[in-house]
Amino acid sequence: MTDGERTGLSRRTVLRASGASAAVPILGAKRASADGTAAPAPSPVLPGDCPDATVEPSMTHCEGTTVEGCADDHPATTELRSAVRETLAETYPTVGALLDAGFKPYFDTLDVTDENGYAHWLSPEFIGDETVLDPERPESVLVDTQSWRAIGVMFIATRDGEAVEPAAVYDDGEGRCSPWHAHTGLPGRFAWWYYRHVYEGTDDIEFSLPCRTPCMLHVWAVDHPEGVYAHDAPPASVRDRESAADAGFETDADPGADELGWEVLPDAVTPDRLPDEIPLLN
């Protein structure tokens, strides 16, 4: 979300600043808001502190992970995907249902691929509980911003909000499937910082941008040319999903006609400080 009155790190700014896979210097300075108060920014993370960090989106495989044994037709995969589809259809059929369940929006402000057209919604309750890889309690729901429908989930390997080493989806002797990844690029790292700072109530402005996110795993409920556990979203052209009949909350916007973004959400669930209002790059 951008307009003439807002400043921050745009997609093009990221691309101009990156050039190559460089670690990210983060500003610890504070920017004054309209009312004169200071808006917090991530504290400095020097290049040597995060040698794997990049400005552009990037990821790394988590300890012990592998995709070689993953198969879309494996019974464990079909069971997991079926359970995810059931949860999305029955529990989270609308954006309003996500809001009612306490999911928090994040519209991927720093995502450099404009064509992605989807957003992460994060659940502080599920991130903060004891479960990992529970299809009834997904830490994140992935929502298509054109149709306003959930197209998958992203499991986050946390217990009590802290990162843990995830277990394999299956390891049956014939194959081992553990497609977990962590983000080391600026967009993913900043997204995790923003979530924790804004939605977990971390008020300390010295709360540092992490070197990497916790381990994460996608399960796509819609058909994906690269498989159920693919890292990137399926192309919009193959999602083939009818737009939601209604938003599930009071809004003047219409699913399918209007893009789902900060501006269409109720004021009560829109953060006072949006991601693109926080200065990052030196």
Domain extent listing, the chain: 56-270
Which of 31-35, 170-174, 228-232, 259-263 shows the lowest per-residue confidence on average (mean pLDDT)?
A: 31-35
The burial of 206, by beta-carbon neighbours within 10 Å (0-12 exposed, 13-18 middle, 19 or more buried), is given as exposed
Q: In this predicted structure, what is the pLDDT of residue 203?
A: 55
What does pTM read for this prediction? 0.82
The amino acid at residue 197 is H
Element (H, E) at 84: helix 75-90
Pairing state between β 158-159 and 162-163 = antiparallel
Q: How confident is the model at residue 95, as a pLDDT? A: 97
| pLDDT-based confidence at residue 176 (cuts at 50, 70, 90) | very high
Give me the count of residues in the chain: 282
Give 119's strand partners.
Answer: 143
Residue partners of 60: CB distance under 8 A and separation at least 6 = 52, 181, 182, 184, 212
State pLDDT tens for residues 110-155: 554 445 689 999 999 999 999 999 999 999 999 999 999 999 999 9
CB 187 within 8 A of CB 210: no
Mean pLDDT value of segment 43-60: 73
